[in-house]
Structure formats: structure tokens, C-alpha cells
Amino acid sequence: MMREPFIQKLVERPRMSRPFWAVLASFLGSLGYLLFQGGKLALMLFVIMLLLSVYLLLGQWSGIKRTQGARSLNNIEHGGTLEAGSSLGVSIQLQIPGFWPMPYIFVKDRLYHKNGSELEFETTIVPDWRRRGIWEYRTPALRRGSYAFGSTDCVTEDIFGLFEHSGTLTLPHSIVVLPKTVAIREWQQFHQMMKGTNHHSTTTRAVRETTQINGVREYIYGDRLSRIHWNATAKTGTWKSKEFERESLPKTYLVLDRYNKAYEDDLEQFELAVSVAASLFQYGVSRSLALGLVSTGSDDVYYEPRPGQNQHKAVQQHFIHVEADGNYALKQVLREKMQNLVPGSFVALITPQYGEGMLQIFRWLKQLQLNPCHIWLTADSESDERWLKQLRSLGISGYAVHSLQELPVVLGGEADE
């Protein structure tokens, strides 16, 4: 009964490499030559083999397994954010304890995307006399999503290249890459559609205030004297202004098409779709607009239109990880989500799809007394005007977007510098 664990230990014992047996055979051969032949040549040969064997044996205590180091990211902290398409600068400082001579160190670093993809970076550095080394590199342009750095492998060899010694360094860092956005000055047709709710393309406020006081806020330079809240100012010792409720607006929804078959020929179009949606939400926050979101794929995300930074942060977090992983066509998604919307609501569909199927969707939305809009992601300039004319014949606004930089122009304004 006791023999099985013993046999298992023998089986699990790692096999010695060919270089090890070669060095051992050479050492034993020189020793036998000295014992049986003798002489100065045999002694000199044995001493040389002895010194080489000791040097190779000490490689096991080279210090590479106890490598210390630190990773620093250029212009970003741990858990910081970048915009999609940006490159990240990385610097790794290494310190190897011990005194065993190292001709070079082979270093490999890894960066993992949340979707499972991996980026590998490799280099060879020569440590200085204090056994220190610095490695700086830049990543390629990063796509949207969450990233985490994996383990850093350090490998060295003896001067003969016979034995390899390795160590692993864990330097945890994570970053978030936000979708690329563009600043939008004005969405002219959107405000024209909201006429009667006091939207004007030249006003600085997106929604006119009522006379109903909603609270107190900090004084902003330029506030009229009638807006100052004198009681709150006297109590706090700082200037306070009255905050008034804003007039209610028709609800506005952005629908992000995540149907996988709509993007199977060009996944870059989906990245454009996410960037367009993120840019419109950014525009909504800057104009105090309440925007909602419908995004159905492997998960079902639905945000009611609400103003404020909390809504924007939640939507932005969704945009970081969203993928074109939907199994349901846009028509089916809309039938589940649009039935209970308040008549007069504005619905912007962000999708590369067009044609008779989309016309049926728009007619159905009009029957529900909704105001649909098509933000069309297209690479075919020839069919742009034909499709937009079809939409206009139904009283539907449409925009052909070929790239993110075109978005502010087609919406009716220029991008902010």
C-alpha cells in the first residue's frame, strides 16, 4: 500500500534536460581521466570542468526567481481611462537580487482585454552593474473595453546558453478605454422637431425654466439679482441662487442596433455605432437633455430618459463593454420596447440597416405617434441620397454617417476644436 505514493513521486519528478546530462558526463569524464591517467593536462582539464560546473550550478540561485520591479503608465493612473484609438506608454523597472553574472534578460509582458484577447510585448534588456534594467514600450491603438496587465516573465541564460532560468513578476494594473466621441455643437432638426417646447438652436439653455422653485444652487457669475436666494445666502455666508424646475419635454430615446448579422461584414461599423451613441449622450448632458437608451443583445439594457451625470455615467459604463452580440432583429426589439412609449416621443435608430424592412419599421413607429429618426451608418456614398429621399417622403429625418468626424456636420453644426 505504501509503494504507490512512492512510485507516483518518482513519476512526477521532473526529468533532467540533455544539457544537464552532457555537463555531468563531461565532469565525470574529466574526473575519471584525472584518476586513471593523471598528469598536468588531466588536472587542468578537471579544474576547468569543475569551475564551469560550479558556475552552471550557481545559476539556480541567479536571483531571477526573486526579481522585483514596478510598472508605471504614462499620463494615466491605475484604473484610469483612455479614449479608443489612443496608445498607452508603459515603463517597467526591474531589479534582480544576487551576484551571478547575467548577459541579458528576456522580458515578456501581457495585456488582456475583457473579451479574452491578449496583447504580448517582448524585448531583451541588458542589466547594468547593479543588476537593474528599464524597459519602455508603447501599445498599439487600443479598442474600447477594459484591460488588465498579466504577469511579467523574466528569463535569462548562462553565458553558454545551456541552461535557462526564469521568474515571474506580478504587477497588477488595469485601465478602461472609453468609446471615441466627438463634440457636437448643435442638432438642428432635433430642436426643430421639439418646437413648441421652447428649444432654439441659438439658446444656451436646452429647456426653458418654469417659475416653480426646485431648490438652491451655487451662484453662477451672471445670474440676475432676482435669482439670488437671500435667506440661503445669509445662512451660509456664500452667494446662493434659486434653482427652478424645467419644462417637461417629449421623451427622447436612442436605439443602438446590436443585431450581430447587421455587422457581420464590418465590425468597425459597430464601433462607429457605439461612438455615435456616446457622442449624442455627451451632447445631451451638455444641453441638459434627458436621453434614454435601448440596447438589446446578450443583455437587455433599457434606460428611461433622465437628465444628470448619474444617468450619463451608467450609460457610459454600458458603452465600454457593449458588443454586437444580439440574436434578435431590430424590428423584434422595437416591438418589445416601443409599445408603451408616450406618443410624441423622439426615437433615433442608430443602425447600418436600410431598405424595405427599415421602411416598415418607420411606418409602424409613425402609427404609434412617435417621431422616428434614422442615423444611418454607411460606407456607400452612392446610395446615400436615394435612401434619405425615401425617408423624407415619409416625413422622417435621416442622416448618413460615414465616419465619426462627419457626425457634427450632418447634424447641422461643426465639431468643436
pLDDT in tens, 217-231: 777 766 777 778 888
pLDDT above 90 as % of the chain: 36
The yes-or-no verdict on residue 334 having pLDDT over 80 is yes
19 CB-contact burial (10 Å; exposed 0-12 / middle 13-18 / buried 19+): middle
Of 35 and 252, which is predicted with more confidence? Answer: 252
d(CA 346, CA 339): 14
DSSP H or E stretch at residue 73: strand 68-73
Are 290 and 305 in contact by the 8 Å Cβ rule? The answer is yes
Cα–Cα distance, 66 to 77 (Å, whole number): 26
Q: Which range, of 9-18, 268-277, 394-403, averages the lowest pLDDT?
A: 9-18
Average pLDDT, the chain: 81
What pLDDT, on the 0 to 100 scale, is given for residue 229?
A: 80
Per-residue pLDDT band at 39 (split at 50, 70, 90): confident
Non-local (6+) Cβ contacts of 173 within 8 A are: 71, 73, 78, 148, 149
Q: Report percent pLDDT > 70 for the chain.
A: 81
pLDDT digits (tens, 9 = 90+) for 180-235: 999 998 887 777 766 544 433 333 344 555 455 556 777 776 677 777 888 888 88
User: What local confidence, expressed as pLDDT, does residue 246 receive?
Assistant: 53
- Residue 83's DSSP bridge partners are 178
At 391-417, the pLDDT tens digits run 988 889 899 999 999 999 998 755 444
Q: What pLDDT was estimated at residue 243?
A: 65
Question: What local confidence, expressed as pLDDT, does residue 15 receive?
Answer: 53
C-alpha–C-alpha distance, residues 242 and 218, integer Å: 9
Q: Provide mean pLDDT across the span 268-294.
A: 91
pLDDT at position 415, please? 45
Sequence spans of domains, the chain? 14-61, 64-178, 188-205+249-411, 210-246
CA dist., res. 385 & res. 193, Å (int): 21
Q: Quote the pTM value.
A: 0.74
User: Given this model, what pLDDT does residue 206 score?
Assistant: 43
Looking at residue 7, its pLDDT comes to: 43
Segment 123-149 mean pLDDT: 91
What fold does the segment set 188-205+249-411 form as a domain? Rossmann fold (3.40.50)
Phi, psi of 188 (to 5 degrees): -65, -50
Q: Which CATH class is domain 64-178?
A: mainly beta
Is the pLDDT at 79 greater than 50, yes or no? yes
Is the pLDDT score of 156 beyond 60? yes
- Residues 282-318: tens digit of each pLDDT: 998 888 788 999 999 889 999 998 877 888 899 999 9
Spatial contact of 55 and 158, defined as CB atoms under 8 Å apart: yes
Q: Which residues contact 278 (CB under 8 A, 6 or more apart)?
A: 178, 179, 180, 181, 316, 319
Inform me whether the pLDDT recorded for 145 exceeds 60.
yes
Domain 188-205+249-411 in the same topology as domain 64-178: no
Between 291 and 31, name the one with better pLDDT.
291
Residue 251 or 9, more confident: 251
Taking only the tens place, the pLDDT of each residue in 88-120 is 999 999 998 877 777 889 999 999 998 888 999
User: For residues 184 and 191, what is the distance between their CA atoms, to the nearest angstrom?
Assistant: 13
Query: SS3 for 251?
Result: coil
Residue 363 has a pLDDT of 93
Q: What is the pLDDT of residue 200?
A: 39
Q: In the prediction, which pLDDT does 6 show? A: 41
